[in-house]
A and B are shown apart, each in its own frame.
Chain A
Amino acid sequence: MSRLDDELKRALRRAEAPPGFADHVLARVVRENRTRQAAISGWRQFFTRPILRLATAAALSTALVAGGAYYRHAQMEKAQRAEGEAAKQQLMLALRIASTKLHLARSKVNDVSDGNQNRHEKE
């Protein structure tokens, strides 16, 4: 055992806990117990009444089933809406392109007509 070992033991010897430490711990335990007991007794009272227990079980089951079904439906609807929106965008794009090219055709026809008319007028 070296002197460093001894010095470390001396330096790291246990310190006394602050005054009233144990009382503080016990007070916290009591406080936490009260809070927990209040919460537990409330629930216990609620669930120990048979009708309420049945009603709660039924409500929970219904809520779970309905919630699951609603979630699936909502997810499906969301996916379908996204696909539908994409299809709509495609449709509008197709119509815009068709429209643009028909307009191009019309302007070309007009150009040719105007050219012919000018030629006839000169003749």
Chain B
Amino acid sequence: MAEPIRAEHSAADNDFEAIVRRHQAMVYSIALRFLAEPAAAEELAQDVFLQLHANLKQLQSDEHLKFWLRKVTAHRCIDFQRRRRLPLLSLDDAPELAAPGQMEDVLLSDRLRELVASLPEKARMVVILRYQEEMGPEEIARALAMPVATVKSHLQRSLAVLREKITRVLGEVSL
């Protein structure tokens, strides 16, 4: 049973601090993987928690809180990206990986993060929520307010493109 969130003023403040500490990595990471800019990610994550503080009374359980934080972070990230008006890429336009050579795991992770960060907004957020937060397609669909079929389609297409681009560079590595 999820722990209810207390909403009294002083208690809520104490609770709020605990909530921030408990969920800061989740919120910050979603923003960081999506925006690929630590400073922008930190500011956006702070904004999410400020919004949470104003809406704390409406949240009934820790599960609800977690869902709310993921949902608000995801929407704020997409809005932020749109406001920045960066050129959007289609999946096929995602950059090729640079030097092949000996690919270590760390380097592979860096390359994958670069590739994910270059995906179109919604596809990128779907991949982040799926692989960082390990959310199922239904939960992602609810958070992003899109049909489950669309979530699955984004996932399939994104994975296909990522696999193709990684394989093209690594050649012999089977993904």
Which residues of chain A have a CB within 8 Å of any CB of chain B?
Answer: 2-5, 7-18, 21-22, 24-26, 28-29, 32
Contacts and interface: CB of A to CB of B under 8 A. Distances in A.
Contacts, number: 88
B131 A5 contact: yes
A17 B116 CA distance: 20
Contact of B131 (A9, A15, A28): A9
A49 B153 CA distance: 62
A22 B112 contact: no
B: interface residue count bin: 35 or more
Contacts of B46: 21, 24-25, 28
A9 B129 CA distance: 10
Given A4-B163, A11-B108, A14-B25, A29 B45 contact: no
Closest 3 A-B residue pairs measured CB to CB? Answer: A11-B112, A11-B109, A17-B24
B20 to A, nearest CB: 4
Contacts of A8: 112, 116, 127, 131, 162
A25 to B, nearest CB: 5
20 contacts: A4-B163, A4-B175, A7-B108, A8-B127, A11-B109, A12-B33, A12-B127, A12-B131, A14-B25, A15-B29, A17-B42, A18-B38, A18-B42, A21-B45, A21-B46, A24-B46, A26-B16, A29-B13, A29-B53, A32-B50
Contacts of B53: 29
A3 B174 contact: yes
Interface of B: 13, 16-17, 20-21, 24-29, 32-33, 38, 42, 45-46, 49-50, 53, 105, 108-110, 112-113, 116, 127-128, 131-132, 134, 159, 162-163, 166, 174-175
A12 B132 contact: yes
A11 B113 CA distance: 6
